[in-house]
Each structure stands twice: as structure tokens, then as C-alpha cells.
Amino acid sequence: MGEVIFKPEISGAPRQLARPGAPSARDMLQEPSAEQRLRDENTALRIALQDVQNDLDAARSAAAADLARVREAVAREQAASHAQAARAGLDEGRRQGLAEGRRAADEAAAARLAEIDKLMRSLADARRRVLAEAEAMVVESIFAGVCRVIGAHALDPRVLRASIAAARAAYGTADGVSVGIHPADHRLLGETAAPEWLARAGLVADEGVGRGGCIVRGPEGELDARLETQAGLLQAALLAAHGGGEERADA
């Protein structure tokens, strides 16, 4: 309906006038034009497209939310699987570590026992060597001491007479026996011994006999009772005893 304006009449009575360009009632009652229909269809299409876009956005948001929930669930499952695998690996690693630790401890203990056994054998060998050296020193000391004692008393007339008597007794009671002694010992006994003892002894001065010793000669051979011979026998006996001690120590 067109806009009605009132314009005063000159005569004083109001009059309705139509606004220029405004559609009339007749125009409004007529069918819309093709252009109008096209505009209306475009408007309806835009509205429908907007509704579809809104539905797509809502569906996209829902799908994104579902995807996020699925990813979160998968992540939790993976984390749980990894944790379980880690625990299983840790338990297996712990078992392997304990087994390796026990094996290493056993090997270390065996090696230590081998070292101790080797050390004990070394100590035993060292002990035998020390004992052998000590025994050798003892033998030498005993022999040297005996030689000193014999040498110190060999020139005593009483010791000399006792040595000759022992040699005669060891030889036996055969007739025709003589006892060779050093000429100096012969003179010493001639000055100190009783004549009857000298007559029975059958002493003969012999340059080949050292001081303090004698050689008994008779029908059955001779008996060497010189000091150097007796010292050699004593030394051999001591060394033999020392050698037997070494064999027992080695056993």
C-alpha cells in the first residue's frame, strides 16, 4: 500500500496524494516476477546450504571428539602395554641380573679359592725351602762345632789315649797289631803315658797320620781312625739325615 501524505488544499480541505515510485495496491496483488522468484530461491538455497554446513560442522566436531576419545583410549592402552612390557622386562632383567650376579660370584669365589690354594702351595714350598736351608745351616753349624770340639781336645793326652783304645777295641784282639800316630802325638804320649800302656798299645810314629788320630794296622787290614776320616763320616751322616728330612718335608 502506498504511503499517503496529506497536503493542505488551498481551499482548506485535506487531500490524499500517492508518493511517487511506491507500489500500489494493485501491484501488490499481482504475481511475483521471475526475478523475484529467483531471488527467493537463492535465499532459500543459501539457508539450506547454511543448514547443511551447520550439520557438517556439527558432524565434524562430533567426529573429531570421537577421534580424540579413540586416540586417548589407544594411548592409554599403549601406555598400559608399555608399562606391562617394562615390568616384564624389568622382572626378566632382574632375574637375569641375579643369575649373572650369582654366576659372577661363584666364578670370583672359585678364582679366589684357586689363588688361596696357589698361595698355600707357595707357602708350603717356601716353608720347605726355609726348613731345608735352616737344616743345612744347622748341619754345617753342628759339623763345625764338632770339629772345633774335637780339634780343641784332640791334643789332650787323655783324649788321645781314649781314641787309640777305642780304635784298638774296634779292630779286635788279633796279635801283631800296630797303631800309627802323628810323631808329635807319639812324643806326647811317650812323655805322659805309663810304660806298660805304651808297650801294649804298639804305637808307631807315622807322618801320614794327622794330629789326634790314628790308623790301626794288623793281619786283618787297617782301621782308619784319623780325625779327618771321622769328621768326613760325621759330615756324611749329617748330610744323609738332612736329605731324609727334605724328602719327608716334600712328601
Residue 232 inside a domain? The answer is yes
Residue 148 inside a domain? The answer is no
Collect contacts of 243-250 with beta carbons under 8 A, ≥24 apart: 245/131, 245/132, 245/135, 246/128, 246/132, 246/135, 249/127, 249/128, 249/131, 249/132, 250/128
pTM over 0.85: no
pLDDT tens-digit series, residues 25-72? 555 555 667 777 777 777 877 887 787 788 777 877 887 787 788 788
Task: Compute the distance between CA of residue 207 and CA of residue 217 in angstroms, rounded to an integer.
Answer: 15
Residue 196 inside a domain? The answer is yes
Residue 34 inside a domain? The answer is no
pLDDT tens-digit series, residues 192-245? 888 888 878 889 999 999 888 899 999 889 899 888 888 788 778 877 876 665
| CATH of residue 168 | 3.30.2320
R_g (Cα) of the chain, nearest Å: 72
> What are the DSSP calls for the chain, one per residue?
-PPEEEE--TTS--EEEEPTTPPPHHHHHSPPPHHHHHHHHHHHHHHHHHHHHHHHHHHHHHHHHHHHHHHHHHHHHHHHHHHHHHHHHHHHHHHHHHHHHHHHHHHHHHHHHHHHHHHHHHHHHHHHHHHHHHHHHHHHHHHHHHHHHHHHHTT-HHHHHHHHHHHHHHH-S-SS-EEEE-HHHHHHHHHHS-HHHHHHHTEEE-TTS-TT-EEEEETTEEEE--HHHHHHHHHHHHHHHHHHHHHHHH-
Residue 46 inside a domain? The answer is no
Count up the domains in the chain and report the number: 1
Residue 103 inside a domain? The answer is no
Residue 214 inside a domain? The answer is yes
pLDDT tens-digit series, residues 76-123? 877 887 777 677 776 777 778 778 888 887 888 788 778 887 877 877
What is the domain extent for residue 169? 154-250
Residue 162 inside a domain? The answer is yes
